[in-house]
């Protein structure tokens, strides 16, 4: 997750048009939401995740977080903004993440939040999932670029 903006910039260097962003994610799939939106909305989930961490760090009891409809978020007007806007958002959020994570103790990483669908998460476990998720989406974009010859 951290530094993802730096990994995404070269990946998006040659993706210049909306048609490129909206093409299918895998052979045989219909056109889907742009991968940069997938990366910034759930990583607006970065914003969401940052808030989850802050709640877990500051609440007396493990907070229950609110899930959201990722597919519906991707249909909102802000998903049509240029890729550069999303990359700036990721960079800014990750600067905040770094500051927070570097300040956390082992006891902080053991704190928890509750996801209504998946149960209790330690911050350490959630961070591992978020890191994997970011690498996963970067790989999707990279494979898409290779497949399309961009």
As a whole number, mean pLDDT of residues 80-96 equals: 78
> Does position 62 have pLDDT exceeding 90, yes or no?
yes
142 sits in which H/E element: helix 123-148
For residue range 95-130, what is the model confidence (pLDDT) as tens digits? 888 899 999 999 999 999 999 999 999 999 999 988
* Positive or negative: CA dihedral 80, 84, 85, 87: positive
Give the residue with greater pLDDT, 111 vs 141.
111
Residues in CB range of 64: below 8 A, 6 or more apart: 113, 114, 115, 116
Cα gap 37→18, rounded to integer Å: 12
Q: Which residue has the higher pLDDT, 22 or 147?
A: 147
Mean pLDDT of the chain: 74
For the segment 50-63, the average pLDDT, to the nearest whole number, is 95
Nearest residue to 54 (alpha-carbon basis) of 119, 125, 103: 103
- Of the two residues 42 and 134, the one the predictor is more confident about is 134
pTM passes above 0.85 = no
Q: Does the pLDDT at position 5 exceed 60?
A: no
Residue 65 has what pLDDT?
Answer: 92
């Amino acid at each position: 997750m951290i530094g993802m903006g730096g990994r995404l910039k070269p990946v998006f260097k040659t993706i210049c048009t909306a048609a490129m962003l909206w093409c299918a994610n895998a052979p045989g799939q219909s056109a889907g939401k742009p991968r940069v939106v997938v990366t910034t909305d759930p990583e607006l989930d970065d914003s969401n995740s940052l808030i989850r961490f802050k709640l877990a760090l500051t609440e007396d009891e493990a907070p229950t977080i609110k899930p959201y409809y990722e597919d519906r978020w991707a249909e909102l007007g802000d998903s049509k903004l240029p890729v550069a806007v999303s990359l700036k958002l990721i960079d800014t959020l990750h600067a905040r993440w770094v500051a927070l994570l570097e300040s956390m103790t082992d006891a902080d990483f053991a704190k928890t939040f509750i996801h209504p669908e998946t149960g209790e998460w330690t911050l350490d476990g959630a961070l591992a999932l978020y890191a994997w998720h970011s690498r996963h989406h970067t790989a999707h974009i990279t494979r898409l670029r290779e497949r399309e010859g961009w």
